[in-house]
């Protein structure tokens, strides 16, 4: 590969990285994995604040780069039953999580009659 081709390739790659970093990241929000809303339940809202403080406290004690800190916080929140999604997808994802939770906890109805004593 000629020197000019290498320079052009490196420039294109660098321009792509700069472009990617210049794009605004979407605002992210935390959702409960069971689909319940903290805004509708003060107990859940307090639990979220406690969990968030605990997880962010864990990251503040870390001397890792910011991407690693984000990973630590996400892992901590996931262990406590939360997921982070873009704000514009939050409503749809909350409904999806709530439906999945309801399905998991609904009684299974059998089409066969269970013999009695």
pLDDT reported for residue 100: 92
3-state secondary structure of 83: strand
pLDDT reported for residue 104: 85
What six digits make up the tokens of 6? Answer: 């290498």
Q: pLDDT tens digits for 41-66?
A: 999 999 999 999 999 886 665 556 67
Residues of the chain with pLDDT under 70: 1-22, 58-65, 108-117
pTM attached to this predicted model: 0.64
pLDDT reported for residue 40: 85
DSSP string, 97-115: HHHHHHHHHSPPPPSSPPP
pLDDT reported for residue 60: 61
DSSP string, 24-68: PPPPEEEEETT---GGG-HHHHHHHHHHHHHHHHHHHT--S-HHH
pLDDT reported for residue 63: 58
Return contacts of 93-99, CB within 8 angstroms, 24+ apart.
93/31, 94/31, 94/35, 94/37, 95/35, 96/35, 97/31, 97/32, 97/33, 97/34, 97/35, 98/34, 98/35, 98/36, 99/35
Residue with tokens 């969990």: 51
């Amino acid at each position: 590969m000629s020197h000019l081709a290498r320079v052009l390739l490196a420039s294109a790659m660098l321009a792509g990285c700069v472009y990617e970093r210049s794009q605004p990241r979407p605002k992210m929000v935390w959702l409960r994995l069971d689909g319940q809303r903290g805004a509708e339940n003060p107990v859940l809202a307090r639990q979220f604040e406690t969990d968030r403080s605990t997880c962010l406290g864990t990251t503040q004690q870390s001397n890792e780069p910011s991407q690693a800190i984000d990973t630590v916080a996400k892992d901590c929140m996931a262990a406590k039953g939360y997921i982070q999604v873009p704000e514009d997808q939050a409503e749809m994802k909350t409904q999806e999580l709530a439906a999945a939770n309801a399905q998991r906890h609904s009684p299974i109805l059998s089409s066969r009659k269970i013999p009695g004593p």
